[in-house]
Every structure is written in C-alpha cells, then in structure tokens.
Amino acid sequence: MGNNRIREIIDLHNRTGIFEDRHEGGQTLAGLLAEQQLSAPFALAIPAGGVPVAAPVAQLLGCPLDVAVVSKITLPWNTEAGYGAVAFDGSYQLNAALIATAGLSEAEVERGIAATRAKVERRVAALRGARPLPDLIARDVVLIDDGLASGFTMRVAVAALRRTGAGSVVVAVPTGHAEAVRHLAAEADLVCCANLRSGRPFAVAAAYRQWYDVSEQEAQALLSGHNDSLQP
C-alpha cells in the first residue's frame, strides 16, 4: 500500500475464503509477525473473537497472552452497528457523524456509554479477574483481533494502550479493509494485516470458511492453556 507502517502478504491481497478458521488465520498472521523482529513482544487479544487468533501468534512468538477488553457502543435498534467504543480503562470515543445521522439524543448516548462500560467491566472480571494489567513499558505490544472492518474499536484500544506506557503498539489481524488499515497505521507503530482487501461491502467473516461467535468460556480456556504452557 505504499506505507512503511503496513505489512501484508501480497499473495493474499483481495482474496476471500482463504482461512479455514480463526486458528489458521492466526497461524498465517504469526508468520508475518515473526518477520518483524519484535522486541520482548506481549500479545493482547481483543475478546472474544481475537483470542483464537492470538493463541497461535503467542505460541510462535513464545510470549505471554492476555486480553485488552474493548467493546463497541451499539445503536439501540441494531446491536451490530456501533457509534463508539469503550476500552478496558473506561475511556471511550464516539463517532459524532454517525450519532447525528442516527438522530440519537444526548440521553440515549449516555445510556449507551453506561451500558457498554458495564459490559466491559463484566468481561474484564470474567477473563482477567483481579489481575492488574501487565507492565508493558519497553515492550512491543501486539494487539490482535480477527479482523478490521471500520477499525474504530481497534483505534480506541490503541489509544488506551498508549496511556499504559507501552513501548510500541503493533496492530495485527488476519484480514482487514484497506481504509481501516490505513487509518490505524497513522496511530499504531505498525499494522500487520495478512489479507488486505478493498471495496464495499466488506465483511471480516468473508476471509474465513468457518465463522462462529466465540464464547467467553472458549476464550478463557485458550488464555489459560497458553499461559500454563509457558510456566517452567
């Protein structure tokens, strides 16, 4: 794409149905990340769908795996469409243009923020318990999800990680829309997207032959299994 902060696999450009599932997407992404010579990497998955992708990445890089919980603030009448996002530290960003287009009142927006904060807090408790966020200073933090459509939620996660003092933030996804990747490349230190696609409509799921909603139970099992394997 002519941007030195973007890495892709040229042979996968604009293709669909190339990964069997999220695990295979993660394996492919891991190979791309291994070429970047990261310093003391630490993998953080956006749950729940990002965890099955992140597990093989963390395995190949030989690094710890944890989660960075972030959730989109959805429209009252459409839980698939988001007009903002809340991160694990309680911070949020709003899409003012979409709020205006949707005709949301200030009270509706405030209720959406509060409900999403509660969802994020519950998911943090379920997946991280009372553990503090690990020390990320001087580490290359690899922030992983199963794909980027608009990239808005990922941008909120990147901003939250910047506030932790992370040494660098690398966004890593098996598939993503070219526009979203370009915008993120201006905010992250590096964006690794194995399967870069352009055009509309765009669906993350189109890169996978098997697609399903990942449960918190599956995510927790993958997190525990990986980190247990790192114990001496």
* Alpha-carbon gap, residue 9 to 28, rounded angstroms: 9
* Alpha-carbon gap, residue 111 to 129, rounded angstroms: 25
**Could you tell me if 45 and 227 are in contact, meaning their C-beta atoms sit under 8 angstroms apart?**
no
* Alpha-carbon gap, residue 207 to 176, rounded angstroms: 9
Task: Identify the residue whose tokens are 């709003």.
Answer: 94
CATH, range 72-128: 3.30.1310
pLDDT-based confidence at residue 212 (cuts at 50, 70, 90): very high
29-84 pLDDT, tens digit per residue, is: 999 999 998 988 999 999 999 999 999 999 999 999 999 999 999 998 887 788 99
- The verdict on whether omega for the bond into residue 232 sits within 30 degrees of 0, i.e. cis, is no
Q: What is the reported pLDDT for 80?
A: 77
Average pLDDT over residues 181-185: 95
**Would the pLDDT of 230 be above 70?**
no
* Alpha-carbon gap, residue 190 to 202, rounded angstroms: 22
Task: Identify the residue whose tokens are 């190949």.
Answer: 60
For residue 103 the two structure tokens come to 């005709």
Computed over every residue of the chain, the mean pLDDT equals: 92
Strands 6-7 and 92-94: unpaired
Q: What is the reported pLDDT for 16?
A: 96
Q: What is the reported pLDDT for 76?
A: 87
Q: What is the reported pLDDT for 167?
A: 83
Residue 155 CB burial class (10 angstroms; 0-12, 13-18, ≥19): buried
Which CATH number is 6-68+136-230's, of 2.60.120.340, 3.40.50.2020, 1.20.120.1200, 3.40.50.2000?
3.40.50.2020
Sheet holding 65-67, edge to edge: 6-7, 190-197, 168-177, 140-144, 42-45, 65-67
Domain boundaries, the chain: 6-68+136-230, 72-128
**Could you tell me if 177 and 203 are in contact, meaning their C-beta atoms sit under 8 angstroms apart?**
no
Task: Identify the residue whose tokens are 């949020």.
Answer: 92
* Alpha-carbon gap, residue 98 to 210, rounded angstroms: 31
- Specify the length of the chain in residues: 232
